[in-house]
Amino acid sequence: MENQESEREGPPEWSKRSTVAAGNFALVIQKESTMKKILVIDDSAIHQASARETLKDSGYELTIASGYREAYKLLLNPDGFWKHVETELGTRGLKWGVKGYQEAAREVAARLRSEYAYDVVLCDLLMPCPPHSHDDSVMPLGPDGEKFVGQEMPFGFPLVFLAAMSGARHVGVVTDASHHNHPFSAVLDPVEWYRSNGAGKFTINGTVVKFFQDGGRYLADGTVCPQCKGTGKDSDHECYTCGGAGKDWKEGKDWGNSLQYLLSDTPPRP
């Protein structure tokens, strides 16, 4: 199925008035098929391309968000979800401002959440801060906040809570930043260490959450390992370069490997 990458329409104006209301509404995805859904969030074109490649045989319908703003809209108002809520409420004769509207909207969203939510969300840890826009309430920055626009910020952390609130079953934060180059990658080292002892898995609002580091490369289909020439063997041993796969490495996160780890207790390949 073709990937969905266009920016979605934001929540209606009334939904922006209360972050508490947004949480209570448990916003969800309009379900178009019985296929499981996965959302990958990364601002790098290289990592977006590797998501298409490494998840093509995963059995999931893939959606890619290119940053925090698009991810926010996909998680809180995917595929025009608010219009569907309003349509159902309209059949009951309920409109914004009418007594009972808020309670009914919460009931509609709560009833649909488990059926329509993303099954899996995989997101980058560090992404550029988006600018303020008068078209939405994603990043309501004032003059002092504008200095952060364009800077890499650890948006992976708040996206975990946003994804859990929206009803995702599994969420993984995947970074290829070296712990030598960025402190927010370094602080994940203990999670990596304890993972070998069965730790490193958390539950937030019923959602399984894992944080892990990715080497920033994957074994690409249609390539040949330069060391073993595609045989997977180096003399009488498994090829050290490709791990016996017979393929060559390509730049980009191995999202398929990350998905496998997220859904199981099997550590990802280094």
Per-residue pLDDT tens over the stretch 85-114:
777 788 887 777 778 788 888 887 777 666
- Same domain, yes or no: 151 and 189: yes
| Residue from 206, 177, 210 nearest 191 by CA | 210
C-beta neighbour count of 217 within 10 angstroms = 15
Q: Identify which has the larger pLDDT, 9 or 148.
A: 148
Q: Contacts by 64-67 with C-beta closer than 8 Å and gap 24+?
A: 64/3, 64/4, 64/5, 64/39, 64/40, 65/5, 65/39, 65/40, 65/41, 66/5, 66/42, 67/41, 67/43, 67/127, 67/128, 67/130
Domain span at 145: 13-216+252-262
- Same domain, yes or no: 238 and 257: no
- Same domain, yes or no: 68 and 168: yes
* Separation CA 181–CA 115 (nearest Å): 41
- Same domain, yes or no: 79 and 43: yes
pLDDT of 136: 74
**In this predicted model, what pLDDT tens digit does every residue of 40-81 receive, in sequence order?**
999 999 999 999 999 999 999 999 999 999 999 888 765 556
* Separation CA 55–CA 3 (nearest Å): 11
- Same domain, yes or no: 104 and 229: no
**In this predicted model, what pLDDT tens digit does every residue of 210-267 receive, in sequence order?**
988 888 999 999 999 999 999 999 888 999 999 999 999 999 999 999 999 899 865 5
- Same domain, yes or no: 60 and 187: yes
**In this predicted model, what pLDDT tens digit does every residue of 18-41 receive, in sequence order?**
222 333 333 333 344 567 999 999
- Same domain, yes or no: 137 and 26: yes
**In this predicted model, what pLDDT tens digit does every residue of 183-213 receive, in sequence order?**
888 888 777 666 555 556 889 988 999 988 8
pLDDT of 114: 63
Specify if 180 maps to a domain.
yes
Give the angle 136-138-139 at the CA atoms, nearest 5°. 110
pLDDT of 7: 36
Specify if 5 maps to a domain.
no
- Same domain, yes or no: 150 and 236: no
* Separation CA 256–CA 270 (nearest Å): 13
pLDDT of 265: 65
pLDDT of 78: 55
pLDDT of 29: 33
| Residue from 249, 256, 247, 210 nearest 51 by CA | 256
Query: How many separate domains does the chain show?
Result: 2
pLDDT of 192: 66
- Same domain, yes or no: 152 and 234: no
Which position has the token pair 């999202």?
Answer: 255
pLDDT of 4: 46
> Which distant-in-sequence residues (6+ apart) come within 8 Å of 253 by Cβ?
42, 47, 50, 51, 54, 174, 176, 214, 216, 218
Specify if 204 maps to a domain.
yes
Which position has the token pair 């979605």?
Answer: 8
* 4, 5, 6, 10: CA torsion to nearest 10: 90
| Residue from 31, 127, 118, 130 nearest 76 by CA | 118
CA 214 to chain centre: 15
pLDDT of 5: 44
- Same domain, yes or no: 24 and 117: yes
| CATH value at residue 119 | 3.40.50.2300
Query: Which CA distances in Å does 260 have to 71, 96, 112, 203?
Result: 22, 43, 27, 18
Average pLDDT over residues 119-131: 95
- Same domain, yes or no: 174 and 235: no
Mean pLDDT score across all residues of the chain: 80
Q: At residue 88, what is the residue type? A: E
| Residue from 191, 25, 190 nearest 117 by CA | 25
Range scoring the smallest mean pLDDT among 95-109, 124-138, 165-179, 236-250: 95-109
Tokens of 222: 């249609």
- Same domain, yes or no: 180 and 227: no
